[in-house]
Amino acid sequence: MAALGLNGAFLLAQIVNFFILFFLLKKFVFPPVIQMLDERKKRIAEGLAAADVARREAEEERKKLMAQLEAERAEAQKRVAAASAQAEKVREEILAQARREAEEIKAKAIQEAEAEKQRILAEAHKQIAELALLAAERVVREGLDETTQHKIIEDFLSQVSLN
């Protein structure tokens, strides 16, 4: 073994040396680095989570605003629709009233015309009857026979009633 350079004391010295190095590094060098890495990892994760939350909140806010806007627009539309419906109704009413009044006026006119006609007819009847009586008087005066008289009156009357 000596020919290979193996020597218990040197071997032990190397092992001890390694242990010293190991403990120095483990005690003073690695913990701060690992701690720093973990901390940074945590902080990055936290930062990302916070950003995520903020983004979600902003999204929600936006949605809420959008919904509100939408609601307002719908409301306005409804109001416009109601107003236009109201206007339509009023127009209809006005139209209907106008039509009704026109109808009434028309009906009244017709009635008046009818009454006038009736009155004129009655007047005519009366005058005709008077005329007929006058005629009859004249005929009687001039001496017509009875049959001729009758015939004349009949004709006359039928003509009048035909009218």
Partner 1 sequence: MSKLLKPRNLALILGIVALLLIAILFVRVPLPTILLPAEHVPGLKIGNFPITNTFIATILADIVVLVLGFLAVRRMQEVPESRLQNIFEWIIEVFDGMLTDIGGKEKARSWLAVFMTILLFLLFANWLELVPGVDSIGYIEPVEVAYAKSGVTVGYEKKQIGPFLTLTNKQVKLTDEEMARIKEEYKEAKEKGEEYHPHEAKGYVLVPYVRAAATDLNLTIGLALLVVLWSHIIGFRRLGGKYIRRFALPHITGMKPIDLLVGVLEFISEFAKVISLSFRLFGNIFAGQVLLFVMAFLVAFLLPVPFMGLELFVGFMQAFVFAILTFIYFEQATHSHAGDEHH
Query: In the chain, which ranges are continuous DSSP H helix?
Result: 8-24, 30-142, 146-162
Q: Check residue 14 for interaction with partner 1 (CB under 8 A).
A: yes
Residues sharing a CB contact under 8 Å with residue 157, sequence separation 6 or more, in sequence order: 132
Question: What angle do the packed helices 146-162 and 30-142 form, to 10 degrees?
Answer: 170
Q: C-beta of 23: minimal distance to partner 1 in Å? A: 9
Least distance in angstroms from the C-beta of 48 to partner 1 = 16
Q: Which is nearer to partner 1, 32 or 143 (CB)?
A: 32
Of 11-19, 119-127, 143-151, 152-160: span binding partner 1 (CB under 8 A): 11-19
In the DSSP assignment, the letter for residue 7 is -
Compare residues 28 and 161 and give the one whose CB is closer to partner 1.
Answer: 28
Distance of alpha carbon 27 from alpha carbon 19, whole angstroms: 12
In the complex with partner 1, the residue whose CB is nearer, 22 or 60, is: 22
Neighbouring C-alpha atoms within 13 Å toward the C-beta of 90: 6
Q: Within 13 Å, how many C-alpha atoms sit on residue 94's CB side?
A: 6
Closest CA to 160 of 108, 122, 107, 117: 122
Residue 18 or 104: the one with the smaller Cβ distance to partner 1 is: 18
Under rule CB under 8 A, residue 162 binds partner 1 = no
Interface positions, 26-85, toward partner 1 (CB under 8 A): 26, 28-30, 32-34, 36-37, 39-40, 43
Q: Determine, following the binding rule CB under 8 A, whether residue 114 of this chain makes contact with partner 1.
A: no
What is the binding site for partner 1 (CB under 8 A)?
2-7, 9-15, 17-18, 20-22, 24-26, 28-30, 32-34, 36-37, 39-40, 43
